Amino acid sequence: MSEPLNVTPGPPQSAPPMLLSGNPLSWLKVFGPGAIIASLTIGTGELIFSTRGGALFGYNILFLFVVISILKWGLVLGTARHMVLTGVHPFQRMMNLPGPRGWAPMAFFILAAICMPIWVSFHSGVLGNLTSWVSGTEAMFNGGADFVWGAAILSGLLLLSATEGYTVLERVQLAIVAALIICAGISLVLYNPDWWALLKGAVIPSVYEYPNWIGEYPKIATQPVWVETTRYVGVIGGAGYDYLAYTSFLREKRWGKAGAAPATRQQLETIAADPNHPVRRWLRAPYIDCSISFIIVIAFSAVFVASGTIILAPEHKIPDEKNLLNLQAEFVVGLSPVLLPLYVAGAFLTMLGTLYGTLEVAHTVLNEMARSVNDAWAAQHQRRLKTYTVAWCAVIAYGVLTWQYFYTTSGGADKPRALLAVMTPANLFTGVLLCGLLCLLNPWMDHRFLPRALRMPKWLWLLNLFAAVVFLSLGVKGYWDHDSRWIALGGLCLVVVVAWGLAFALRGRLHRTATDGD
């Protein structure tokens, strides 16, 4: 039997007193869905790439992380406040973009079907890399053991997910990861970084250049700095599909109209006419939730950037495809060697949570796409959709891991691995280009469907437009400087053409709904 979609009829519930309190500490009780953003990015964004950025560019890279976090905060805040006010997801709004009805959700569906399995394979490969290091098997099969372990870990996670055993694991994960972060923070204080340089690096922009010893890493040295830094833009703070899933998760919280029946035009006019309407009071919730989430992201980024700068850079060490999580052990071992097991457990469970979260995001995104086309059908087939999504991601991920295994084992021991090479094109879309497109969508949704009094404030409108320019420019530049230039850009154009063709062919079946507006 299918699980019902979380939509409740009737008026929205009143905002709780803690939300309306003037005490910031009471706002912490509102923090919930934003933890998804933070948890999804800690494993890949902070633990790997913040450390890598610190080792390569020093404290100055923190400015990029702060700016990108602010821009992505504005993005997710725009989608969340629209959901709170209307109960309508951005995918439903995309149905009404100029062109054949529904072409945009179809394009994003095709791209998700390509990119999400690649991310699943990447996270599995990272876990495999850590496991081979811990088990002493990293030299087996010329390094191919990483992908054997990765496939085995993915299989175990799928089994846990199917038996709902991940719930217990998640609770253990939270405790160990919290301990890991505390130890990393204490290590940072004990190592006593240049706090003034750290602060300047966070607020003053600079030109990024590789260190003079980058020749020790020829694979990194041959790629433009733009490609390296744009990779950070994609992973820090989460990706576009994460934010679309976050917006969907608001149904569970039932903030304002989220989780209730979509607001009609008349209801929106009523909400707009009353500044104290219960729905408008709920707008504070996403502001608080998203702000706490990105403050955590920036704080974690600062810790690992500083650690990479003061510990790895002097030793000319960079987390690369052979050592994505291994080198970071030095951050806590500096306190005491007995903390190595804590690091290993924390890093493993952090990445395992990221891997599981990626599968959940993929399912949530597909479910919202189905809802935008046919709400009743999506409700009836929700469980089946999850099975199909997980199966698709797993099969393609196994295929990518298998290819990487044979690619790695077919050469000598020093043959470069392709883990980051496979991930980068997907990251440029999900974490950069898609973010830019969503930043353009936010002002359009508000202008098209909301009364003037409910539209995002001017500063948020400008922030989204500025973010759109930044993300789209960086995404195109990143693709242009990457080895996959023509394949990636040509593939994106082909996806749009196919989506238009499908939308045109199905135009008689994609009917307008009451939430489409005038």
Q: Which CATH number do you get for residue 85? A: 1.20.1740.10
Question: Quick one: pLDDT at residue 166?
Answer: 47
Cα–Cα dist 366/378, whole Å: 10
- Pick from 59-68, 217-226, 326-335, 374-383 the range whose average pLDDT is largest: 59-68
Is residue 165 a part of any domain in this protein? yes
Is 273 contained in some domain? yes
168-182, 322-336, 357-371: lowest mean pLDDT where? Answer: 168-182
**Confidence at residue 121, expressed as pLDDT on a 0 to 100 scale:** 96
In a domain, 291, yes or no: yes
Asked whether the predicted pLDDT for residue 249 surpasses 70, the reply is yes
The answer to whether residue 463 sits within a structural domain is yes
pTM recorded for the entire structure: 0.90
Q: 257 lies in a domain?
A: yes
Mean pLDDT of 402-423: 79
Poorest-pLDDT segment among 158-162, 365-369, 514-518: 514-518
- Indicate whether 121 belongs to any domain: yes
Burial category of 6 from C-beta neighbours within 10 Å (exposed 0-12, middle 13-18, buried 19 and up) = middle
Residue 114 has pLDDT above 60, yes or no: yes
User: What are the C-alpha distances in Å from 227 to residues 62, 116, 172, 220?
Assistant: 17, 21, 36, 10
CA–CA dist 11, 105 (Å, integer): 29
Q: What pLDDT does 107 receive?
A: 94
| Number of domain units in the chain | 1
pLDDT at 126: 93
Looking at residue 2, its pLDDT comes to: 36
Taking the alpha carbons of 290, 291, 296, 297 in that order, is the dihedral positive or negative? positive
The answer as to whether 424 is a domain residue is yes
| Confidence tier at 108 by pLDDT (50, 70, 90) | very high
Q: Please write the tens of the pLDDT for every residue from 188-232.
A: 787 788 999 999 999 999 999 999 999 999 989 988 888 899 999
Across the chain, mean pLDDT equals: 86
- Sequence-distant contacts of 210-218: CB under 8 A, at least 24 apart: 210/56, 211/56, 211/313, 211/316, 213/316, 214/56, 216/316, 217/318, 217/320
pLDDT digits (tens, 9 = 90+) for 12-33: 666 666 676 667 777 777 777 7
- Smallest CA-to-CA distance from 77 within 399, 425, 456, 396 is with 456
In this predicted structure, the answer to whether residue 403 has a pLDDT above a threshold of 90 is yes
Indicate the pLDDT class of residue 360, thresholds 50, 70 and 90: confident
Does the pLDDT of residue 356 top 70, yes or no?
Answer: yes
* pLDDT at position 4: 41
Q: In this structure, how many other beta carbons lie within 10 angstroms of the beta carbon of residue 359?
A: 24
DSSP E strand boundaries for 50-197? none
pLDDT, tens digit, for every residue of 67-79?
A: 999 999 999 999 9
Q: Across residues 484-499, what is the average pLDDT?
A: 88
Tell me the residue range of the domain where 81 lies. Answer: 17-506
Looking at residue 233, its pLDDT comes to 93
Question: What value does the CA radius of gyration of the chain take, rounded to a whole number of Å?
Answer: 23
What's the number of CA atoms in the CB half-sphere (13 Å) around residue 298? 22
- Percent over 90 (pLDDT), the chain: 46
Q: Which two tokens stand for residue 48?
A: 């790997």
CB 197 within 8 A of CB 370: no
**pLDDT at 152 exceeding the cut of 50:** yes
In which band, very low, low, confident or very high, does the pLDDT at 6 lie, cut at 50, 70 and 90? low
What number is the average pLDDT over the span 475-486?
A: 83
Tens digit of pLDDT for each residue in 273-290? 998 898 998 998 899 989
pLDDT of residue 77: 95
CA–CA distance, 355 with 160 (Å, rounded to integer): 12
Tell me, yes or no, whether 10 lies in a domain. no
Q: What is the mean pLDDT of residues 487-505?
A: 90
